[in-house]
C-alpha cells in the first residue's frame, strides 16, 4: 500500500456548526421559550450532525446570484429581510412570451466506419484547434514526439521533454507531411472548381462546406496557395468576379471554427490587401462596382487582425502602417485611398466601445486630474466630430439611444445625440412615434399580515397612487383610492393587528395589497368567492396606454390548512380569469412547502 | 430504513440457511445467538474462534441485529485505556508496516484502514471528542484516495449518540473487514502485536478484522492495488469458492425454421436448404453438453411460443451474416445524439434486435423511438378487435391500428426521474424504474402501464429483464438487489449484502445468476435459484455503474466512476484484466456478439474498444481453480481504438446482431 503524505491544508474544511442563538430563535419561532442553555447546546450539536448527513458537499444548494439581505429593527428585535425588486409590468406585458423548450430529437451519424472516424461536422475534428494553434505558435512542441500519434496508441509519452532537451542544439526541421488522400484530392478539385465556377448554387454549397467542415486542416496549405495564386493572376487581368469569389473563400475559411489559419497568413494578407489597394480591380472602373470588393476585403482584413493579432506578430500595427503609408503616398490612386480608409474605419469602430469603457471608468473616479479631464473632453469631441458623418451614413434613420448604447457603450448616447442633431439639420424634424411606457411601474406584493400592509401604506402611498388592500377596511381611510376585498378575517382587523404585534402567529390576519402606479386604470374582477378555504385572492384587470391589458392576480394562503382545497379554489379562479382573454400574471405567497407531504399540519400548541 | 434492515436480516437468514450443511452448524448458530443475546461475549468469542468457519455467518447474523439491538453491538467498544495510547499504537503499527520487507509491506498495509476506523470510533464512543478529531486530522489524509469519502463521512460522527444511527458506522460494525495475507505476513504481524504489548491493537484486530490467512507467497503490490478498494476489504478466500454454473443453456430445437425461411425468401428452394444445413451445424455445436452449464430446469423458464422460436430462427439467420471483429477488423459505429436534452436524459436502452430505443427522462417520462422504418403502432380498440378473424395468419398484424403509427411514443406514469429502462426479449413489454421507488411494466402494444411493482422503499436505480423473459432484476438505494417475476407483485428473491446502493444489475446469459454493482465499490454475483451470493469481486475504486456478461457466460466486465473497466473470470473469481484508460465515469460496457471485442463508453465523451480475446486467453488456458490468480493484465496492450464524440457522453452501447455498434448520448451544450 502506498502511504500518501498529504499536507493538512488540503483536507476539505468542515462546515461550521449552528450557533446557539440560531437554535434559540428557531425554538422561539415555534413557541418554545426559555430553553435552558444545556438543552440548546445539545440541540445545536445534534442538528449540525443531521445537517451534515443531509447536505451533500457535492450537491449543495446554491444560488447563482448574490441574494442581498437588508436589516431593520422593529419590536425590539433585529430582522433581516429580502428586498423585492419592482417589476416593469409594461415590459412584461409587451415582451415576447418565453419559448417552450424544444422537443428532444435524435440525430444519427457515423461515429466510425470500419474503425476509421469520418471527418464530418458531427464528429470532433481530427486535429483539435488548440493543437493546431500550439503547433503554429510553438513549432518546437513537435520535436521529440512521434509524428502523428494514432488515437489507438495515444499513450503518455514518457520522455518527451527530456529528449527535446538532449537535441536542443541540433536544429531539427520536421518534414511537413502534406499527404492528401485520394478523397481529399477529389474534394480539393471539386471545391476549387465550384468556388470559381459559374454555378451559384454549387458555389454556395462549396462555401458552406469550407466554413463548417472539420478535417480541412490537411488541405489548408493547398487552399491558401490556390487563393494566393488566384489573386495574383486575376488582379493583373482585372477579373473582378473571380476576385470576389476568392475573397468569399477566405471568408469561409475564416469562419471555420476548426481551423487555425495563422501559419498561412503570409499568403492570405497580401491577397486580401491586394483586393483593397490595387489601383485597378476591374476592366471598366467607371461602371463596375469594385467598391463592394474593397469594402468586403477590408472587413476581412479587420477580422483577420482581430483574430490573430498577438504581441509577437504585431499584425495590427503592421497592417495599419501599410495603409497609412498608402494614404500619405501622393501617387496612390483615389480608389486605393478609399480601400485604405475603409480598413481604418473598420478598425476604429470596434474600438469605440472599449475606449468608452475606459473613459467611463475615468469619469467615475472620485478624483480626476485636470489633464485627464481635458483629454476626455477632447477625445469625446473628436469622436463626435469624426464619427458623426460616418454613423449618419452607416445607420438608418430611427436613432434609438438604447441601440447606440448597446453598440458603442459609454459613448453611445453622445453619438446618438450628435447623429440625430446632424440629421435634423438636413431634414425637417420628425417626432418619434413611440411613447415609452416609463410610468407604468407596478409594485405588487402579497402582504402576510394586514397590519403590515396598513403600516406600509402611508410610506409607499404617495398621493397619485392607488392602493388596493384586501382584508383590512381600517386602512381604507389612508391616502389614495383603495379597493377593498373582504377577507375572512375582515371583521376584526383592529384586534388582529393588536394580536399580530404581540407575535402570536395563530391569530394574525391575512390580507393583500396591490400598489399601482399612476397612469394605469384598474378594475377589480368579480370572482366567485372561494368557499371553505383560507385562500385570499384579488384579481385586477389593468389597462395600459396603447390598449394593452393584463390581469394581475394576487393570492395569499396562510400556512395552515388543507393545501388541496386551497389549490382547488385557486384553480377555479384561475380558470375564470383565463376567460378574460388578457395575459395573466399570478403572484402571491402560497406557503406550500414542496418538500413536505401534502397534508394539513397538526395544530400547534398554544404557547403559555 | 427499517424495511431495508429487515430485508437484510431475511436475506442473511436465507444465506445462512443455504450455506449450512448440516444440523451441527445450525445448532452452533443457535448457541452463538444465545450467547450473544445474553451478552456473554467471552464465551461467544471463544466459540467463534474455535469454529473458524463461522466468521462469515456470524458476521452476517450480527448485521441483521445491528439496528434492533445496537447497545450490545456497541458495547464491544470497551471504555478502557487513555486516548493517547491510540495515537502511539497507530503510529507504531504504521512504522511496523513501513519497515517491513517489501514483499509483506503491502499485505500488512491493508490493515491500516480498518484499524484507523475502529480506533476513531472507540475514541468517539469513549467520549474523547477532541482526541478523536485530532486523530482523524492526523491520520485521515494518510488513507488511500478511495477511502477519503468514507473518512469524510466518519468525521461527521463526533459523539456516541450519533453512532447508533449512522449507516456507515453500522456497516463497519456489522461486517468484519477482511484482510487477506499469506502465512508469513500473518506470523510477522502476530509477533509484532504480541512483543510490543499492544493489547489495544491486538484487541482491535481480533474484534473487528478477519485475517484470511493463506499458504504460499505473498501477493504482489500490483495485485493488491488492483483488488483493493471495497468498503468491506478483500472478499474472504472461501467466498468465491462456490461452483458457479456459468455455461450457457442448451438451445432448444427449432423445428419451425423451415417454413419461416420459405416465407421470407420465396425465390427458390436451393438457398433455404443450404442455410438450414449450416444452421443445424451451428445449433448442434451449441447443444453439446457443457459441464459448466446448469440444468435447463434449474430455474423454471417460460415455454417458448411459436413466436419466440420464429424470432430465435431469425436471430440465428442474422448471426450468420454478422461481421467478424478483431484487432484488424474494427466495427462500424453509429451514434444517436439526443438534441435539446442535455440534462434531461438519464438512461437509454435498445432492444435485442435493435429496432427500438427507449429513453428514460429526468422529467419522469419514458419515450420509445422506432429505429427502423416500421413505426410504432397501438392495438385497435376492443370493438374493432372483435371484428378480426382470429384464425387469420396475419392476426398479429391485423390487431394493430395502422392509423396510430408514430415514430416515437411517450409513456407517462412515474412521479420521479426514470433511472432504468429495459425491453423484454419479445419486445412487447418495457420495464422502467424510477426515483419514486416503483418499477413499472408497460405494454408496447397498448402503450399503457400494466403493473406497478412496489417493493423497493427508496429510489430504484436499475432494472433489467432476464434474457429468457418472465424474470427481472432491480437494484436500488435500499442496498438490495431484487428478483421479480412479471406475474408476481412481490419480489421472489431479495439479494442483500451490499453495504451501499445497488447501482446496476445485469442478468447472466443463462438467467441463473444476477450481477449487481454497488456504491460500496464491489460487484456481487447472486444465484437466482438459492438467493445466495456466489461471487464478491472487489477492485473498483469508485461506484460501479456498468456491468456486462460475456456472451459465453464465463466472464463479467464492470465499469465504474473510477474510469476503470475490470474483467473478471467467474470460474475462479479472479481479476483477469484491468482496463484503465477512461478519464471519467464509465457508463456502459458491452460485448460484441461474438465476444471478441469489448466496448466501453463514458462521461469522458469517448468510446474505447478493447481486445477481449487477448484479455482472456491466459485464464482460458489455465485450469479452473488455481489458488493464486495470475497477474491481471493492464489496459495498454489490450486497447484497440478510441473514438471521441463531440461533447456527448456515451450512455449506452449496443451491438446489433450483425456486430454494428450503436451508441447514444445527449449532446451537452
Query: What does the pLDDT look like over B192-206, one tens digit per residue?
Result: 887 766 777 787 888
What is the pLDDT, as a whole number, of residue A157? 38
Measured from the Cβ of residue B250, the count of other Cβ atoms closer than 10 Å reads: 16
Mind listing the domains of chain B with CATH numbers? Answer: 2-79 (no CATH), 83-218 (1.25.40.500), 333-343+419-666 (2.130.10.10)
d(CA B561, nearest CA chain A) in Å: 15
Average pLDDT over residues A199-216: 86
- CB pairs under 8 A, 24+ apart, for B108-112? B108/B181, B108/B185, B108/B188, B108/B189, B109/A1, B109/A3, B110/A1, B110/B179, B110/B181, B110/B224, B110/B228, B110/B233, B110/B234, B111/B179, B111/B189, B111/B205, B111/B209, B112/A1, B112/A3, B112/B142, B112/B143
Angular region, B272: left φ>0, alpha ψ -120 to 50, beta rest: alpha
For an interface test with A, which of B112, B153, B328, B334 has the most A Cβ atoms less than 10 Å from its Cβ? B334
- What residues contact A297, with CB distance under 8 A and at least 6 apart? A247, A272, A273, A275, A276, A339
Query: What is the average per-residue pLDDT within B254-274?
Result: 45
ipTM of the complex: 0.76
Higher pLDDT, A331 or A249: A249
Which residue in A has a C-alpha nearest to residue B158's C-alpha?
A49
CATH of residue A214's domain is 1.25.40.770
Confidence at residue A173, expressed as pLDDT on a 0 to 100 scale: 57
In this prediction, residues A217-231 reach a mean pLDDT of 87
pLDDT-above-70 percentage for chain B: 82
Distance from CA of B593 to the nearest CA of A (A): 16
Q: What is the pLDDT of residues B366-402, one digit of tens each?
A: 999 999 998 888 888 888 888 888 777 777 788 888 8
Kindly list the residues from chain B whose CB atom is less than 8 angstroms away from the CB atom of residue A16: none
- pLDDT for the residue numbered B25: 64
Query: What mean pLDDT is reported for chain A?
Result: 68
User: Is A601 within the bounds of a domain?
Assistant: no
Residues A334-343, mean pLDDT to the nearest whole number: 71
All residues at 6 or more sequence positions from B232 whose CB lies less than 8 Å from its CB, including other chains = B171, B175, B177, B178, B499, B520, B522, B536, B538
| Residue that terminates a domain, selected from A328, A357, A377 | A328
CB contact under 8 A, B344 and A117: no
Residues A351 and A297 in one domain: no
Give the pLDDT confidence of B432-442 residue by residue, as tens digits.
Answer: 999 999 999 99
Q: What is the mean pLDDT of residues B585-599?
A: 92
Reply yes or no on whether the pLDDT at A62 is more than 60: no
**Domain termination residue (choose one: A328, A361, A384):** A328
Check if the beta carbon of residue A384 is closer than 8 Å to that of residue A418: yes
User: Mind listing the pLDDT tens digit for each residue in B50-91?
Assistant: 665 444 444 444 433 333 344 444 444 554 567 778 888 888
Q: How many CB atoms lie within 10 A of CB A231?
A: 26
Query: Averaging pLDDT over each range in A364-373, A471-480, B249-258, which range is the top one?
Result: A364-373
Calpha distance A229→A231 (Å, rounded): 6
What is the predicted pLDDT for the residue at A64? 61
SS3 A515: strand
The DSSP bridge partners found for residue B599 are B590, B609
The pLDDT-based confidence of A16 (bands split at 50, 70, 90) is: low
A250 and A207 in a common domain: yes
Same domain, A296 and A384: no
CA–CA dist B223, B88 (Å, integer): 30
Q: Mean pLDDT, to the nearest integer, of A359-364?
A: 71
Measured CA to CA in angstroms, residue A528 lies from A483, A563, A571, B526 at distances of: 17, 19, 12, 63
Average pLDDT over residues B466-491: 92
Q: Does B141 touch chain A (CB under 8 A)?
A: yes
Query: Which residues on chain B are in Cβ contact (under 8 Å) with A45?
Result: 158-159
H/E segment holding residue B591: strand B586-591
Report CA-CA distances (Å) from B471 to A237, A465, B487: 80, 71, 9
Average pLDDT for chain B: 80
Which residue out of A18, A58, A111 would a mutagenesis test of the B interface target, given it has the greatest number of B Cβ atoms within 10 Å? A111
Count the helices and strands in chain B (H runs, E runs).
Answer: 21, 32
> A393 and A268: one domain?
no
The alpha carbon of residue A104 is apart from the nearest alpha carbon of chain B, in Å, by 5
A547: alpha, beta or left? (left if phi > 0; alpha if psi -120 to 50): left
Q: Do A280 and A370 belong together in one domain? A: no
Quick one: A321 and A397 in the same domain? no
Higher confidence at residue A207 or residue A92? A207
Chain A with chain B: Cβ pairs closer than 8 A: 127
Instruction: Yes or no: say if B162 and B171 are a contact pair by the CB < 8 Å rule.
Output: no
- Same domain? A223 vs A298: yes
Q: Are A458 and A523 in contact (CB under 8 A)?
A: no
**CA–CA dist A513, A452 (Å, integer):** 10
Outline where B112-232 has alpha helix (H).
Answer: 112-125, 129-139, 148-156, 160-163, 167-174, 183-195, 199-208, 221-227
pLDDT at residue B64 in the model: 38
Which range is least confidently modeled, A244-253, A391-400, B627-636? B627-636
Specify if A565 maps to a domain. yes
B653 touches chain A (CB under 8 A): no
User: Which pLDDT band, with edges at 50, 70 and 90, does B622 fall under?
Assistant: low
Residue A156 placed within a domain: no
Render pLDDT for B123-153 as a digit per residue (tens, 0 to 9).
888 888 888 888 888 888 888 888 888 888 8
Question: Which H or E element spans position B565?
Answer: strand B565-569
In a domain, residue A501? The reply is no
Chain A residues near residue B161 by CB distance under 8 angstroms: 46
Residue A49 lies in a domain: no
Mutate to test the interface with A, among B141, B325, B358, B361 (most CBs of A within 10 A): B141
**HEC profile of A198-225:** CCHHHHHHHHHHHHHCCCCHHHHHHHHH
pTM, full prediction: 0.63
Closest CA to B455 of B431, B429, B432, B484: B484
Give the per-residue pLDDT at B289.
67
Q: Would the pLDDT of B503 be above 90? A: yes
Say how many domains are in chain A.
3
**In angstroms, rounded to a whole number, what is the distance separating the alpha carbons of residues B646 and A123?**
6
Assess whether A232 and A318 both reside in one domain. yes
At A222 the pLDDT is 87
| A187 & A297 share domain | yes
User: Is A38's pLDDT higher than 60?
Assistant: yes
pLDDT reported for residue B430: 95
Co-location of A357 and A232 in the same domain: no
Instruction: Give pLDDT, residue B101.
Output: 84
| Whether B137 contacts chain A with CB within 8 A | yes
Shared domain check, A324 and A214: yes
Answer whether residue A272 shows pLDDT above 90. no
Confidence of residue B547 (pLDDT cuts 50, 70, 90): very high
Instruction: Name every residue whose Cβ is closer than 8 Å to that of residue B415 and which is 6 or more positions away in sequence.
Output: B364, B434, B436
- Among A150-164, A294-308, A558-572, whose mean pLDDT is lowest? A150-164
Can you give the pLDDT at residue B219? Answer: 80
Clarify whether residues A189 and A319 are in a common domain: yes
* Higher local confidence (pLDDT), B48 or A271: A271
A22 found inside a domain: no
Model confidence at A389, pLDDT cuts 50, 70, 90, reads low
Say whether residue B607 is in contact with chain A using an 8 A CB cutoff. yes
Is pLDDT at B102 greater than 50 in this prediction?
yes
Do B339 and A6 make contact, defined as CB atoms within 8 angstroms?
Answer: no
Tell me the residue range of the domain where A586 lies. Answer: 516-595
Residue A79 belongs to some domain of the structure: no
Q: Considering the domain boundaries, does residue A477 fall inside one?
A: no
Domain end call among A368, A400, A423: A423
Amino acid at each position: 500500500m502506498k502511504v500518501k503524505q498529504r499536507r493538512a491544508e488540503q483536507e476539505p474544511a468542515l462546515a461550521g456548526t449552528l450557533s446557539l442563538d440560531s437554535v434559540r430563535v428557531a425554538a422561539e419561532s415555534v413557541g418554545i421559550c426559555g430553553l435552558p442553555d444545556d438543552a440548546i447546546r445539545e440541540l445545536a450539536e445534534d442538528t449540525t450532525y443531521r445537517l451534515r448527513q443531509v447536505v451533500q458537499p457535492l450537491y449543495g444548494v446554491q444560488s447563482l446570484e448574490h441574494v442581498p439581505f437588508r436589516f431593520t429593527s422593529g419590536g425590539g428585535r433585529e430582522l433581516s429581510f429580502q428586498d423585492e425588486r419592482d417589476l416593469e409590468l409594461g415590459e412584461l406585458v409587451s415582451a415576447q412570451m418565453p419559448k417552450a423548450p424544444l422537443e428532444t430529437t435524435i440525430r444519427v451519424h457515423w461515429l466510425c466506419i470500419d474503425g476509421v472516424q469520418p471527418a464530418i461536422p458531427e464528429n470532433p475534428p481530427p486535429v483539435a484547434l488548440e493543437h493546431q494553434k500550439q503547433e503554429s505558435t510553438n513549432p518546437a512542441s513537435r520535436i521529440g514526439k512521434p509524428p502523428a500519434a494514432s488515437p489507438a496508441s495515444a499513450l503518455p509519452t514518457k520522455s518527451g521533454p527530456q529528449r527535446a532537451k538532449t537535441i536542443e542544439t541540433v536544429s531539427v526541421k520536421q518534414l511537413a507531411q502534406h499527404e492528401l488522400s485520394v478523397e481529399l484530392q477529389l474534394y480539393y478539385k471539386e471545391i476549387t472548381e465550384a468556388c470559381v465556377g459559374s454555378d451559384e448554387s454549387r458555389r454556395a454549397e462549396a462555401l458552406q462546406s469550407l466554413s463548417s467542415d472539420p478535417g480541412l486542416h490537411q488541405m489548408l496549405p493547398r487552399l491558401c496557395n490556390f487563393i494566393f495564386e488566384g489573386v495574383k493572376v486575376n488582379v493583373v487581368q482585372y477579373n473582378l468576379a473571380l476576385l470576389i469569389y476568392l475573397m468569399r473563400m477566405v471568408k469561409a475559411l475564416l469562419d471555420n471554427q476548426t481551423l487555425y489559419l495563422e501559419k498561412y497568413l503570409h499568403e492570405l494578407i497580401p491577397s486580401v490587401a491586394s483586393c483593397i489597394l490595387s489601383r485597378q480591380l476591374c476592366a471598366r472602373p467607371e461602371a463596375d462596382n469594385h467598391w463592394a470588393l474593397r469594402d468586403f476585403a477590408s472587413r476581412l482584413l479587420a477580422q483577420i487582425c482581430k483574430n490573430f493579432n498577438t504581441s509577437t506578430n504585431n499584425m495590427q500595427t503592421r497592417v495599419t502602417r501599410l495603409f497609412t503609408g498608402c494614404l500619405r503616398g501622393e501617387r496612390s490612386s483615389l480608389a486605393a485611398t478609399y480601400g485604405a480608409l475603409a480598413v481604418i474605419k473598420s478598425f476604429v469602430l470596434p474600438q469605440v466601445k472599449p475606449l468608452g469603457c475606459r473613459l467611463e471608468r475615468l469619469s467615475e473616479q472620485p478624483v480626476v486630474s485636470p489633464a485627464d479631464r481635458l483629454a476626455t473632453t477632447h477625445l469625446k469631441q473628436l469622436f463626435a466630430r469624426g464619427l458623426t458623418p460616418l454613423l449618419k451614413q452607416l445607420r438608418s434613420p430611427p436613432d434609438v439611444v438604447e441601440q447606440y448604447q448597446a453598440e458603442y457603450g459609454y459613448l453611445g448616447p453622445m453619438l446618438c445625440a450628435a447623429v440625430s442633431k446632424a440629421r435634423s439639420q438636413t431634414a425637417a424634424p420628425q417626432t418619434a412615434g413611440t411613447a415609452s411606457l416609463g410610468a407604468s411601474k407596478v409594485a405588487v406584493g402579497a402582504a402576510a399580515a394586514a397590519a403590515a400592509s396598513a403600516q406600509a401604506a402611508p410610506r409607499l402611498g404617495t398621493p397619485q397612487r392607488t392602493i388596493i388592500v384586501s382584508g383590512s377596511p381600517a386602512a381604507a381611510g389612508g391616502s389614495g383610492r383603495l379597493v377593498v376585498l373582504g377577507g375572512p378575517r375582515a371583521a376584526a382587523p383592529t384586534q388582529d393587528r393588536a394580536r399580530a404585534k404581540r407575535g402570536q402567529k395563530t391569530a394574525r390576519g391575512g390580507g393583500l395589497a396591490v400598489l399601482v402606479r399612476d397612469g394605469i386604470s384598474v378594475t377589480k374582477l368579480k370572482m366567485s368567492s372561494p368557499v371553505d378555504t383560507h385562500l385570499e385572492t384579488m384579481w385586477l384587470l389593468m389597462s395600459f396606454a396603447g390598449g394593452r391589458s393584463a390581469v394581475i392576480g394576487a393570492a395569499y394562503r396562510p400556512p395552515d390548512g388543507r393545501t388541496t382545497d386551497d389549490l382547488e379554489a385557486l384553480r377555479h379562479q384561475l380558470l375564470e380569469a383565463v376567460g378574460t382573454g388578457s395575459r395573466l400574471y399570478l403572484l402571491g405567497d402560497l406557503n406550500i412547502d414542496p418538500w413536505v407531504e401534502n397534508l394539513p399540519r397538526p395544530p400547534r400548541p398554544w404557547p403559555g | 430504513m427499517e424495511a431495508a434492515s429487515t430485508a437484510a436480516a431475511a436475506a442473511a437468514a436465507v444465506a445462512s440457511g443455504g450455506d449450512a450443511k448440516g444440523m451441527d452448524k445450525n445448532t452452533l448458530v443457535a448457541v452463538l445467538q444465545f450467547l450473544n443475546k445474553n451478552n456473554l461475549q467471552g464465551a461467544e468469542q471463544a466459540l467463534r474462534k474455535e469454529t473458524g468457519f463461522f466468521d462469515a455467518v456470524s458476521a452476517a447474523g450480527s448485521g441483521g441485529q445491528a439496528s434492533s439491538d445496537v447497545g450490545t453491538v456497541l458495547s464491544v467498544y470497551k471504555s478502557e485505556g487513555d486516548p493517547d495510547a491510540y495515537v502511539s499504537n497507530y503510529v507504531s503499527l504504521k512504522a511496523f508496516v513501513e519497515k517491513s520487507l517489501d514483499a509483506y509491506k503491502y499485505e500488512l498495509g491493508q490493515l491500516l484502514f480498518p484499524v484507523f476506523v475502529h480506533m476513531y470510533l472507540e475514541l468517539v464512543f469513549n467520549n474523547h471528542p477532541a482526541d478523536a478529531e485530532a486523530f482523524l486530522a492526523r491520520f485521515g489524509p494518510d488513507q488511500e484516495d478511495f477511502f477519503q469519502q468514507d473518512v469524510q463521512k466518519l468525521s461527521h460522527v463526533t459523539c456516541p449518540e450519533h453512532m447508533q444511527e449512522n449507516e456507515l458506522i453500522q456497516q463497519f460494525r456489522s461486517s468484519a473487514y477482511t484482510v487477506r495475507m499469506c502465512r508469513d505476513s500473518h506470523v510477522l504481524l502476530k509477533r509484532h502485536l504480541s512483543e510490543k504489548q499492544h493489547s489495544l491493537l491486538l484487541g482491535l484486530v481480533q474484534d473487528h478484522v478477519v485475517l484470511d490467512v493463506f499458504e504460499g507467497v505473498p501477493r504482489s503490490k500490483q495485485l493488491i492495488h488492483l483488488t483493493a478498494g471495497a468498503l468491506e476489504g478483500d472478499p474472504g478466500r472461501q467466498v468465491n469458492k462456490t461452483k458457479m454454473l456459468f455455461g450457457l443453456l442448451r438451445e432448444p430445437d427449432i423445428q419451425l425454421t423451415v417454413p419461416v425461411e420459405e416465407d421470407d425468401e420465396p425465390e427458390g428452394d436451393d438457398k433455404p436448404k443450404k442455410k438450414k444445413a449450416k444452421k443445424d451445424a451451428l445449433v448442434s455445436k451449441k447443444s453439446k453438453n457443457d459441464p459448466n452449464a446448469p440444468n435447463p430446469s434449474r430455474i423454471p423458464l417460460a415455454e417458448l411460443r411459436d413466436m419466440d422460436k420464429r424470432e430465435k430462427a431469425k436471430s440465428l439467420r442474422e448471426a450468420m451474416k454478422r461481421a467478424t471483429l478483431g484487432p484488424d477488423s474494427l466495427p462500424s459505429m453509429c451514434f444517436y445524439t439526443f438534441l435539446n436534452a442535455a440534462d434531461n436524459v438519464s438512461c437509454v436502452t435498445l432492444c435485442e434486435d435493435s429496432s427500438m430505443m427507449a429513453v428514460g427522462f429526468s422529467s419522469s417520462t419514458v419515450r420509445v423511438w422506432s429505429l427502423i422504418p416500421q413505426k410504432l403502432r397501438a392495438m385497435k380498440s376492443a370493438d374493432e378487435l372483435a371484428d378480426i378473424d382470429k384464425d387469420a395468419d396475419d392476426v398479429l398484424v391485423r390487431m394493430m391500428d395502422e392509423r396510430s403509427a408514430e415514430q416515437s411514443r411517450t409513456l407517462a406514469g412515474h412521479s420521479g426521474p426514470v433511472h432504468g429502462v429495459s425491453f423484454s426479449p419479445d419486445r412487447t413489454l418495457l420495464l422502467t424504474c424510477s426515483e419514486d421507488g416503483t418499477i413499472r411494466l408497460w405494454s408496447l402494444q397498448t402503450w399503457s402501464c400494466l403493473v406497478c411493482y412496489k417493493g423497493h422503499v427508496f429510489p430504484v436505480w436499475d432494472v433489467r429483464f432476464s434474457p429468457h423473459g418472465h424474470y427481472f432484476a432491480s437494484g436500488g438505494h435500499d442496498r438490495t438487489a431484487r428478483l421479480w417475476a412479471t406475474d408476481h407483485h412481490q419480489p421472489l428473491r431479495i439479494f442483500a449484502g451490499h453495504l451501499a446502493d445497488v447501482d446496476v444489475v445485469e442478468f447472466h446469459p443463462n438467467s441463473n445468476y444476477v450481477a449487481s454493482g454497488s456504491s460500496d465499490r464491489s460487484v456481487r454475483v447472486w444465484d437466482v435459484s438459492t438467493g445466495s451470493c456466489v461471487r464478491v469481486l472487489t477492485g473498483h475504486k469508485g461506484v460501479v455503474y456498468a456491468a456486462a456478461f460475456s456472451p459465453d457466460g464465463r466472464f463479467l466486465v464492470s465499469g465504474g466512476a473510477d474510469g476503470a473497466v475490470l474483467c473478471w473470470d467467474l470460474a475462479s473469481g479472479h481479476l483477469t484484466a484491468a482496463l484503465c484508460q477512461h478519464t471519467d465515469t464509465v457508463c456502459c460496457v458491452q460485448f460484441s456478439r461474438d465476444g471478441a471485442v469489448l466496448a466501453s463508453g463514458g462521461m469522458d465523451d469517448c468510446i474505447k474498444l478493447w481486445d477481449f480475446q487477448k484479455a482472456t486467453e491466459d485464464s482460458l488456458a489455465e485450469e479452473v481453480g488455481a489458488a493464486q490468480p495470475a497477474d491481471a493484465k493492464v489496459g495498454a496492450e489490450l486497447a484497440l481504438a478510441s473514438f471521441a464524440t463531440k461533447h456527448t457522453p456515451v450512455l449506452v452501447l449496443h451491438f446489433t446482431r450483425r456486430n454494428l455498434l450503436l451508441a447514444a448520448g445527449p449532446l451537452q451544450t
